[in-house]
Chains A and B, each alone.
Chain A
Amino acid sequence: MITQGLVTAYLTLIVLLPLAAVVWQSTKGERSFWDAVTDPQAVSALKLTLVVSVLVALVNAVVGTLIAWVLVRDEFPGKLVVNAVIDLPFALPTIVAGLTLLALYGPEGPFGIDVAFSRAAILLALLFVTLPFVIRTVQPVLIELDREMEEAAASLGANALQVFRRVVFPNLFPAVLSGVALAFARAIGEFGSVVLISGNLPFKTEVAAVYIFGRIESGDPSGAAAVSVVLLVLSFATLLLIGGLRRRVTRHDRVG
């Protein structure tokens, strides 16, 4: 009884009330909510954020699955260290992540590659911060996966690619999708790692979170709140999707 009360009160004060204030603010600006979210600069920032986040999700789906595969099925010296390093983006502050990328891939980088203030820089920063999601959701499924199925397929004449496509991938798919959704949600709202390296040029390299920050700084809380509501809805929808996927995965477990 007391526990439930405390939990509910804490969540209400820390999460619900502040978010309600955002929704409320978004409706009481000089412009209507709709005008604020269809402001050309806001639309451009939201579009860029969505496109880059989808790209990030796709790259993570492929590379994340590949890295998880190597970490589970391959043996090489130093594997334990590599496995630990995967979590670095979770542990490293985002502003430091942005600065590290700027040091290597910025104007003073040692390789002469300079992506600073371009859209490629945003992609790079988001790939850095979202790296662990797909790996960490796929890895445990891959460890649990019964290898006899793969051996059976191979002995029936399937080549390596066919085994992966027909046997391994269908089993991994829910985990990949749930990792991808987490990465997507993270990419949509990312600020710290992007803010230094993207240059924040309106209509060009300004992502949604940076746009909101700019609206706050220039004293337009309603404009900031309106775009925030869009991000809030996207986050919530992504979470619902992940929740649905988890339920599917557990049901699958129970049947098997």
Chain B
Amino acid sequence: MEDSYAISATLKGDIDSFEILVNRYYRGLFNHLYVMVRDESLADDLAQESFIQAFKALRRYNPEYRFSTWLYRIGTNLALKSLRKQRSIRLDDIPELPDGHDPGKATIVEQTEAQVRAAIALLPLKYQTVISLFYWHDQSYDEIATTLSVPVGTIKTWLHRAKQALKHSLEESLWID
């Protein structure tokens, strides 16, 4: 079922249709929010709240945009609000390897990916957010600009600076030139 059909059906009272959207986008949104807040439990709560807010405001959804763009905007705003409340920078913001993961047995690919994730986690939040949306959630510049409510030019600048910072932090270990 296409998003537009599920939204239309939900607005007509078929709440089960909304579940299709939840199933389709929950995991992606959850991962995007995790990149922002670095707390699985909080990301889960925020993802859940995002869908609830989307449901409540569904009549305001503008079909000119992809549903996912609108949803990510809601989620991103919730994450930013949550982060503003925290106010402190946590030392354990660097992502940990999954439970049961033995660094000694990790493949080179896994180690590289973990290094990249760690480097991304050290970037300013706005750069992390842009990277998450652009590379991992396939949003265009325009869509990211909509999600974050900033001009497209700013998004391009942030992405460029984020990549420069990553290149700088990874160039020695990963021979990125």
Judge: A and B partners, yes or no. no
User: A residues near B, CB below 8 A?
Assistant: none
